[in-house]
């Protein structure tokens, strides 16, 4: 098991949390707004590096993770691969987003364990649909 920063320990069981990771503050803001609108209040955690995203996922145990392939340090595909290898996060739903994807990058993300690969600009409605499926929120799933 990976060592967690600051001696933090993971919460048992998981939460209705969404982890979003991107180097781009505007992408993080759009993702936060997507999951925190007037009708839905998912607990949104934001990070911008691979290491911090993996550490926070181990602590918060989100059922949904949205990873930008372009992180400040590291990359979203590597983070996806790491999350799939760790017992507390191996079953979470992972969406990888990218602004300059090639077919090879898409295949690499899916091979790393991503459930969904989306190009930027991505559809916030599609992400809400995925969140609704993950958390059993019929209203969000029909968005």
In this prediction, residue 10 has a pLDDT band, given cuts at 50, 70 and 90, of very low
Which residues are CB-contacts of 43 (< 8 A; sequence separation ≥ 6)?
A: 15, 16, 17, 18, 60
Alpha-carbon gap, residue 17 to 133, rounded angstroms: 14
Residues 6+ apart with CB under 8 A from 93: 63, 64, 65, 115, 116, 130, 133, 134
Going by the DSSP 8-state scheme, the letter that residue 70 receives in this structure is: B
**pTM of this structure:** 0.84
Give the other-Cβ count within 10 Å of 135's Cβ: 17
pLDDT of 37-57, one tens digit each?
767 678 899 999 999 999 999
- Looking at the predicted structure, is the pLDDT value of residue 129 above 50? yes
pLDDT at residue number 126: 93
Structure confidence by residue, pLDDT tens digits, 56-101: 999 999 989 999 999 999 999 999 999 999 999 999 999 999 998 7
The 10s digit of each residue's pLDDT in 25-39 is: 999 999 998 887 767
pLDDT of residue 7: 47
Closest alpha carbon to 92 in 62, 135, 136: 62
Catalogue the E-assigned strands of 6-87: 17-21, 43-47, 64-68
């Amino acid at each position: 098991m990976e060592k967690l920063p600051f001696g933090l320990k993971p919460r048992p069981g998981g939460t209705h949390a969404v982890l979003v990771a991107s180097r781009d503050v505007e992408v993080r803001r759009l993702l936060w707004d997507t999951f925190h609108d007037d009708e839905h209040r998912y607990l949104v955690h934001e990070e911008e590096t691979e290491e911090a995203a993996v550490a926070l996922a181990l602590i918060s145990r989100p059922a949904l993770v949205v990873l930008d392939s372009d992180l400040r340090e590291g990359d979203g595909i590597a983070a996806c691969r790491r999350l799939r290898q760790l017992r507390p996060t191996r079953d979470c739903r992972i969406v990888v987003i990218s602004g300059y994807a090639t077919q090879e990058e898409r295949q690499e993300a899916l091979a790393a364990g991503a459930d969904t690969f989306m190009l930027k600009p991505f559809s916030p409605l599609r992400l809400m649909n995925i969140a609704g499926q993950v958390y059993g929120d019929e209203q969000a799933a029909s968005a």
